[in-house]
Structure 1
Amino acid sequence: MFTAPDISYMAFAPLLMVLLAGAVGVLVEAIIRTPATRRAVQLALTLVALLGALVVSAVQWASLTAAGNVAQTGFFVVDRQALAWFCLLLVFGALGALLFAARTRAGEESFTSLGAATPGSPEEAEARRRGLEVTEVFPLLLFAVGGMMAFVSTTDFLALFVALEVFSLPLYIMVALARRKRLLSHEGALKYFLLGAFSSAIYLFGVALLYGAAASTTYGDVLTAVLASPGDLALFVPGAVLVIVGLLFKLGAVPFHTWSPDAYQAAPTPVTAFMAAATKAAAAAALLRIVFTALYPLEWELSWMIWTVAIVTMVVGTVVALVQTDIKRMLAYSSVAHAGFILVAFAGFSAQALSAVPFYMLTYGLATIGAFAVITQVREKAEDGTVGGEATRLGQWAGLGRRDPMLAGAMALFLLSFAGIPLTAGFIGKFQAFAAAIDGGGWPLVLVAVVASAAAAFFYVRLIVLMFLTDVPEDQQALVEVDYHPYTRVVIWITAAAVLILGVLPAGALSIASDAGVLLTGL
Structure 2
Amino acid sequence: MNPMNWSVLSPEILLLAMTCLIALADLFVSSPRRGLTHGLSMIALAAVAALHLLGFQEGQTQYAFGNMVVSDPMGHLLAFFAVVATAVTLIYARPYAASREMLKGELHTLSLFALLGILVMISANHFLVIYLGLELMSLSLYALVALRRDHAPATEAAMKYFVLGALASGFLLYGLSMLYGATGALELGKVFEAIGSGQINAQVLVFGVVFIVAGLAFKLGVVPFHMWVPDVYQGAPTAVTLMIAAAPKLAAFAITIRLLVEGMIGLGKDWQQMLMVLSVCSLVLGNLAAIAQDNLKRLLAYSTISQLGFMLLGLTPTLIAGNTLSAANGYSSAMFYLVAYVLTTLAGFGVLLALTQRGFESEQVSDLAGLNRRSPLMAGIMALVMFSLAGIPPTVGFYAKLAVLQSLVSTNVPLYIGLAIVAVLLSLIGAYYYLRIVKVMYFDAPADSGPAAGELQLLPTEVRVVLGLNALLVLGFGLLPGGLMAWCADAIRMALAT
TM-score band w.r.t. shorter chain? over 0.9
Structural RMSD (CA): 2.0
The yes-or-no answer on 1:109 pairing with 2:98 is: yes
The yes-or-no answer on 1:152 pairing with 2:122 is: yes
Q: 2:119, 2:494 → 1: CA distance?
A: 16
1:405: how far off? 0.4
The yes-or-no answer on 1:34 pairing with 2:30 is: yes
Aligned counterpart, 1:342 = 311
Aligned counterpart, 2:349 = 372
Q: Secondary structure at 2:147's aligned position in 1?
A: coil
Give the TM-score normalised by the residue count of structure 1: 0.88
Query: Cα gap change, 1:299/1:230 in structure 2, threshold over 3 Å: closer, same or farther?
Result: farther
Aligned counterpart, 1:454 = 428
Name the aligned partner's letter for residue 46 of structure 1: S
Query: Cα gap change, 1:285/1:509 in structure 2, threshold over 3 Å: closer, same or farther?
Result: same
Alignment partner of 2:463 out of 468, 488, 502 = 488
Name the aligned partner's letter for residue 207 of structure 1: L
Name the aligned partner's letter for residue 90 of structure 1: V
Gap regions ≥5 residues in structure 2? 319-326
Aligned counterpart, 2:324 = none
The yes-or-no answer on 1:69 pairing with 2:40 is: no
Aligned counterpart, 1:507 = 482
Name the aligned partner's letter for residue 137 of structure 2: F
Aligned counterpart, 2:372 = 401
1:335: how far off? 0.3
Q: 1:166, 1:478 → 2: CA distance?
A: 39
Q: 1:363, 1:70 → 2: CA distance?
A: 29
> For the Cα contact (< 8 Å) 2:337–2:404, is it kept in 1?
yes
Q: 1:417, 1:178 → 2: CA distance?
A: 32
Q: 2:99, 2:423 → 1: CA distance?
A: 36
Query: Cα gap change, 1:478/1:285 in structure 2, threshold over 3 Å: closer, same or farther?
Result: closer
1:520: how far off? 4.7
Query: Cα gap change, 1:294/1:169 in structure 2, threshold over 3 Å: closer, same or farther?
Result: same
Name the aligned partner's letter for residue 460 of structure 1: Y
Query: Cα gap change, 1:260/1:110 in structure 2, threshold over 3 Å: closer, same or farther?
Result: farther
The yes-or-no answer on 1:19 pairing with 2:16 is: yes
Alignment partner of 1:186 out of 149, 152, 155 = 155
Q: 1:515, 1:303 → 2: CA distance?
A: 23
* Equivalences for residues 63-212 of structure 1 within 5 A: 63-64=58-59, 66=60, 68-103=61-96, 109=98, 111-113=100-102, 133-178=103-148, 182-212=151-181
- In the alignment of these two chains, the number of paired residues is 483
User: Which moved further from structure 2: 304-313 or 69-78?
Assistant: 69-78
Q: 1:139, 1:389 → 2: CA distance?
A: 26
1:358: how far off? 2.3
Q: 2:123, 2:417 → 1: CA distance?
A: 30
After superposition, the C-alpha distances for 1:168-209 in whole angstroms (9 at most, x for unaligned) are 1111111112477x1000111111111000001111110111
Q: 2:203, 2:405 → 1: CA distance?
A: 32
Name the aligned partner's letter for residue 401 of structure 2: K
Aligned counterpart, 2:242 = 273
Name the aligned partner's letter for residue 504 of structure 1: L
Higher helix proportion (structure 1 or 2): 2
User: Which moved further from structure 2: 484-493 or 185-194?
Assistant: 484-493
Query: Cα gap change, 1:423/1:521 in structure 2, threshold over 3 Å: closer, same or farther?
Result: closer
> For the Cα contact (< 8 Å) 1:111–1:134, is it kept in 2?
no
Q: 1:165, 1:55 → 2: CA distance?
A: 26
Q: 1:521, 1:508 → 2: CA distance?
A: 20
> For the Cα contact (< 8 Å) 1:111–1:179, is it kept in 2?
no
Aligned counterpart, 1:60 = 55
Aligned counterpart, 1:122 = none
Q: 1:179, 1:163 → 2: CA distance?
A: 26
> For the Cα contact (< 8 Å) 2:328–2:489, is it kept in 1?
no
Q: 1:205, 1:318 → 2: CA distance?
A: 32
* Equivalences for residues 250-261 of structure 1 within 5 A: 250-261=219-230
User: Which moved further from structure 2: 407-416 or 230-239?
Assistant: 230-239
Q: 1:493, 1:151 → 2: CA distance?
A: 31
Give the TM-score normalised by the residue count of structure 2: 0.92
Q: 2:344, 2:270 → 1: CA distance?
A: 35
The yes-or-no answer on 1:421 pairing with 2:398 is: no
> For the Cα contact (< 8 Å) 1:360–1:433, is it kept in 2?
yes
Name the aligned partner's letter for residue 218 of structure 1: E
Q: 1:143, 1:98 → 2: CA distance?
A: 17
Name the aligned partner's letter for residue 448 of structure 1: V
Name the aligned partner's letter for residue 57 of structure 2: A
> For the Cα contact (< 8 Å) 2:362–2:450, is it kept in 1?
no
The yes-or-no answer on 1:50 pairing with 2:45 is: yes
The yes-or-no answer on 1:285 pairing with 2:260 is: no
> For the Cα contact (< 8 Å) 2:38–2:108, is it kept in 1?
yes
Q: 2:349, 2:149 → 1: CA distance?
A: 16
Q: 1:62, 1:231 → 2: CA distance?
A: 39
Query: Cα gap change, 1:258/1:272 in structure 2, threshold over 3 Å: closer, same or farther?
Result: same
Share of identical aligned residues, percent?
A: 31
Alignment partner of 1:324 out of 293, 296, 304 = 293
Aligned counterpart, 1:384 = none
After superposition, the C-alpha distances for 1:371-427 in whole angstroms (9 at most, x for unaligned) are 1111122248xxxxxx43212111121110111001100000011000111110011
> For the Cα contact (< 8 Å) 1:377–1:390, is it kept in 2?
no
Q: 1:438, 1:293 → 2: CA distance?
A: 24
1:81: how far off? 0.7
Q: 1:247, 1:443 → 2: CA distance?
A: 25
1:74: how far off? 2.3
Name the aligned partner's letter for residue 396 of structure 1: D
> For the Cα contact (< 8 Å) 2:32–2:98, is it kept in 1?
no
1:354: how far off? 3.3
Q: Secondary structure at 1:234's aligned position in 2?
A: helix
> For the Cα contact (< 8 Å) 1:80–1:518, is it kept in 2?
no
Query: Cα gap change, 1:179/1:436 in structure 2, threshold over 3 Å: closer, same or farther?
Result: farther
Q: 2:465, 2:488 → 1: CA distance?
A: 26
Name the aligned partner's letter for residue 83 of structure 1: H
Q: 2:395, 2:243 → 1: CA distance?
A: 21
The yes-or-no answer on 1:363 pairing with 2:330 is: no
Aligned counterpart, 2:406 = 435
Query: Cα gap change, 1:7/1:110 in structure 2, threshold over 3 Å: closer, same or farther?
Result: farther
Q: 1:187, 1:110 → 2: CA distance?
A: 21
> For the Cα contact (< 8 Å) 2:92–2:354, is it kept in 1?
no
After superposition, the C-alpha distances for 1:129-168 in whole angstroms (9 at most, x for unaligned) are xxxx422110111111111011011111121001000111
Name the aligned partner's letter for residue 215 of structure 1: G
